[in-house]
Chains A and B, each alone.
Chain A
Amino acid sequence: MLDQTIAGPGHNNPPAYDPEILKGLSETTATFMEASQVWLDIEAIATEEHASQLTDQIDGLRGLWKKVDEARKTAKKPHDAAGKEVQDAFNPLLKKLKTAGDKLKPKLAAYAEQKAREEEAKRAEERRIAEEQTRAAEAAKKEAEASGNIAAQLDAEEQAKAAEEAAKRAEQPVKTQVKSATGAGRTMAMRKIKEVEIENPRVLFFHYQNHPDVIDTLRRLATADVRAKGYDPMAKPIPGIKVTERNVMA
């Protein structure tokens, strides 16, 4: 007999995990959460019996955490394997393409640099011409004013305007763009990026000494040393720290 149940939306796209396992763990977790809330509502543990029961509750939470994590790992494993298979299949291609692109970029960069140098030389020549034109225009203007010849004055003004435009053109920045041949590709250009090389770590440290990241790193290093086996504060003290001991339940 055929199953007459109508397939609903998403019927062929099941979740990536076993919903029954998740449901079971969710229910157990919910009971543990409720019990934990009861414990939290107690102001303080006052009896040995409650203390030992709370130990069991904490151990139970830890055990359930392990169970859930194990279930998560088991559910994730086939996906990880599938993911690895996909990575293994595609990554070599990506690597080849990336490497080829990286190797080709210097060629384009060399061309763009050469082009920039030529453009720069051209601009220098244009600047020189523009300066000459400006000087000639100023001389012509002075001469025209001295002579009182109106036509000559107008010509000198035109000459000055042309010189100004030439100077403007010469001052325009040199473009290093290399455009796509077909128009479909991305225009590439030389970009300036800043890189830092540390010359004096101590001076640099003083500059950043109050930065939260620096403080976190220092705390991490000091904590690791203080907690290390065989740490002797008398024999090898770490300056600038105060070691305090705190009791934690473990």
Chain B
Amino acid sequence: MIRRPTSLASSLAWHRAAVTGEEPPRHDGLPECGWFKRRMIKGGPWVPVRIYLARQIDSATGELTEDERLRCEVEGLDGGDPAEHWTYLTPITREEFNHLVDYRLRDSRMLDARQRIDLSQSPTLPQGIF
């Protein structure tokens, strides 16, 4: 039996539909690939989450050597089972995802995902203006 890897277009179809406002059906416990953001606590900063297919492909045949598995990356680290995050995820574009990854490093208030942000504690300055 030929075990072909899922195509990128197919694995990201749900995400594409979601970010273009098509509101595809969303089922608990059945995560989809794509780029997302979530908050770890109420009032906390946005955290980037990526769900992807983890797979092993035989370079000679181009076939899968084992079953594809959905994995997720939270704050750039292994996030475990994506189904645990799925309910809390907001789909975002890849550009927004990249910006969020970058911006978290530029705003120290966002570094601790489990710390509520109090915007009244310190002012927010326009970055890049000197």
Which A residues are within 8 Å of any B CB, using their own CB? 28, 31-32, 34-36, 38-39, 42, 49-50, 53-54, 56-57, 59-64, 66-67
Specify which chain A residues have a CB less than 8 angstroms from the CB of B124 in the assembled complex: 35, 53-54, 56-57, 60
| Contact A32 B123, beta carbon cutoff 8 Å | yes
Which of A36, A42, A49, A50 sits near B123, CB closer than 8 Å? A36
B123's closest neighbor in chain A, by CB? A35
Number of A-B residue pairs having CB atoms within 8 Å of each other in the complex: 51
Q: In the complex the two chains form, what is the Cα distance from A28 to B121 in whole Å?
A: 7
- A63 and B123 in contact (CB under 8 A), knowing A38-B129, A49-B103? no
Task: Flag if B120 contacts A60 (CB, 8 Å).
Answer: yes
Residues of the A chain whose Cβ atoms lie less than 8 Å from the Cβ of B128: 50
20 contacts between A and B (CB under 8 A): A28-B120, A28-B122, A31-B122, A34-B123, A35-B125, A36-B123, A38-B126, A49-B99, A49-B103, A50-B126, A50-B127, A53-B125, A53-B126, A54-B126, A56-B124, A57-B119, A57-B123, A57-B125, A59-B119, A64-B120
CA gap between A14 and B126 in the complex, in Å:
41
Specify which chain B residues have a CB less than 8 angstroms from the CB of A32 in the assembled complex: 123
Q: Which residues of B contact A61 (CB under 8 A)?
A: 120
Shortest Cβ distance from residue A102 to the other chain B in the assembled complex, whole angstroms: 52
Instruction: Point out residues on B near A: beta carbons under 8 Å.
Output: 99, 103, 118-129
Interface of chain B: mostly helix, strand, loop or mixed: loop
With known contacts A49-B99, A49-B103, A63–B126 Cβ distance under 8 A: no
Is B120 in contact with A49, judged by CB distance below 8 angstroms? no
Nearest to A36 among chain B residues (CB) is: B123
Residues of chain A contacted by B119 (CB below 8 angstroms): 56-57, 59-60, 63
Across the interface, B126 reaches (CB within 8 A) one of A34, A39, A64, namely: A39
A28 to B122 CA separation, bound complex (whole angstroms): 7
In the bound complex, CA of A229 to CA of B80 (Å): 49
Give min CB distance, B97 to chain A, whole Å.
14
Q: Please measure, in the bound complex, the distance between the C-alpha atom of A54 and the C-alpha atom of B120, giving whole angstroms.
A: 13
- List A contacts of B122 (CB < 8 A): 28, 31, 60
By a CB distance below 8 angstroms, the chain A residues around B121 are: 28, 60
Given contact pairs A31-B122, A63-B119, a sample of 14 additional A-B residue pairs in the complex whose CB atoms are under 8 Å apart: A28-B121, A35-B123, A36-B123, A38-B125, A49-B127, A50-B126, A50-B128, A53-B124, A60-B121, A60-B123, A60-B124, A63-B118, A66-B120, A67-B120
Residues on B with C-beta less than 8 A from A53 are 124-127
User: Would you give the shortest CB distance from A93 to chain B, in whole angstroms?
Assistant: 46
Which residues does chain A contribute within 8 Å of B125, judged by CB atoms? Answer: 35, 38-39, 53, 57
Shortest C-beta distance, B96 to chain A (Å), equals: 9
Given the complex, which residues of B lie within 8 Å of A62, measured CB to CB?
120
Q: How far is the CA of A76 from the CA of B128 in the complex (A)?
A: 42
Question: Please, which residues of chain B bring their CB within 8 A of the CB of A34?
Answer: 123
State the 5 A-B residue pairs at the shortest beta-carbon distance, nearest first. Answer: A63-B120, A35-B123, A60-B119, A64-B120, A57-B124
Q: Which residues of B contact A35 (CB under 8 A)?
A: 123-125
> How far does the Cβ of A151 sit from chain B's closest Cβ, in whole Å?
105
Most buried by B among A36, A49, A63: A49
| Chain A: CB-nearest residue to B109 | A56
- Give Cα A61 to B124, complex, Å: 10
Residue on A nearest B119 in the bound complex, by CB:
A60
C-alpha gap A142/B23 in the complex (Å): 118
Least CB distance, B109 to chain A, in whole angstroms: 9
Q: How far is the CB of A54 from the nearest CB of chain B, in Å? A: 7
